[in-house]
Amino acid sequence: MASSDTQEWQGRVGKSWASEWQRTDRSFRMLTSELERRIAGSPYANLLDVGCGAGELSLVAAQARPEARVTGVDISPDLIDVARLRSAGIPNVRFELADAASWRPGDGESFDLQVSRHGVMFFDQPVAAFANLRAISAPGANLIFSCFRSLEENPFFGLAGNLVDGGVSLPDPHAPGPFAFAGAERVHGILSDAGWCNVSIVPFDFQMIAGSGEDPVSDAVSYFSRIGPAARAISLMDDVAKQSFRMKLEGFVREHLSADEVALDAAAWIVTATRD
C-alpha cells in the first residue's frame, strides 16, 4: 500500500510542484549548477535521474552529452507530464512514471551514473530503495545526489512556518521528507547497508531564490503560499487568516530582499558513492 506521502506526491502535492516547476528550478539554481559540475566530471553512457520531478537535471545531463541516454523516474504523474513536455525535441532523454525504490527497467538495462536533486529523501524504506538502485546499476557505477542538511541549517523552513498562527508541525526527522537525510552518519549507514562503497558526504551551502522579477516580494509570497511548510496550513485557512498570514509573510520576505531577488540561506549535503 502506498504511504500517505506517496499518495500526496501522486495527487495534491505533485500537482502543486508541477505547476511551480519554473520557480522551483529557479530556487535550486545554485545547487543545480553544482550538481551539473559534478555530473560533467563523471563519465556516463546511461544515466538515471531518481525522483526527477519536472526534469531539469535530466535535461541538463541529456543536453550536455547528446550521445548518452538519460532516464528520469518519478512517482508524480503531473511532474512526469511536465518533464515530457519540456523534453520535446531532445531525443536522448525519456521519463518514466514509477517508484525508483522498486522500479526495474526492461531488458536488463543498467545505469553507469545515478543522480538526484533532492529526490531521495522520501523513500519509505531507504536501505531497500538504495539496494534496488544498486541492483540496476552497472559495475563501477557512480551515484551523486543532494539532500537537505538539518532544519537548523535551513532556517527558512521554520521561519516561514512560524508565521502561521499556532505554528506548523514539523515531521519526524527520520520520516520520509525534506530532512530525512539531514544526518550524515545516517546517510552513510544507509548507503553502506545497501551495498554502496566509497561514500563521500560534503556540505554545500547555497541561496534559494524565492522571488525575482519586477516584484520579487510578491513573487516570493506567492511561491511560499504554494510550496513549502506553510502551504498546507494556508490551504485550510479562512480568508481573514490568509490575509493576516500573507502580511506577516511579506514582512519576512522583505527582510531577505537584496537588489532584485529574495534569497534565503540553504544548506545541503552532496553525497557520492560507487558500486564495486
pLDDT band at 124 (very low <50, low <70, confident <90, very high): very high
Beta bridge partners of 146: 117, 270
Beta bridge partners of 96: 73
pLDDT band at 161 (very low <50, low <70, confident <90, very high): low
Indicate the SS3 state at residue 227.
coil
Measured distance CA(153)–CA(89) in Å, rounded: 40
Work out the percent of the chain whose per-residue pLDDT is above 70.
90
CB 81 within 8 A of CB 75: no
Region 154-165 average pLDDT: 72
Region 40-52 average pLDDT: 97
Region 121-131 average pLDDT: 96
What are the structural domains, with CATH classification, of the chain?
4-152+171-210+264-274 (3.40.50.150)
Measured distance CA(61)–CA(32) in Å, rounded: 11
pLDDT for 9 equals: 66
Region 19-23 average pLDDT: 95
pLDDT for 174 equals: 75
Region 198-203 average pLDDT: 98
**Nearest residue to 144 via CA among 173, 175, 111:** 111
**Nearest residue to 14 via CA among 63, 79, 74, 73:** 79
50/246: higher pLDDT: 50
Cell of 68: 548518452
Cell of 182: 539531514
Measured distance CA(127)–CA(237) in Å, rounded: 38
Residue 144: pLDDT above 80?
A: yes
Q: What is the pLDDT of residues 58-98, one digit of tens each?
A: 999 999 999 999 999 999 999 999 999 999 999 999 999 99
Region 196-225 average pLDDT: 95
pLDDT for 165 equals: 62
pLDDT for 2 equals: 44
64/162: higher pLDDT: 64
148/158: higher pLDDT: 148
pLDDT for 14 equals: 77
Q: What is the pLDDT of residues 4-14, one digit of tens each?
A: 466 666 667 77
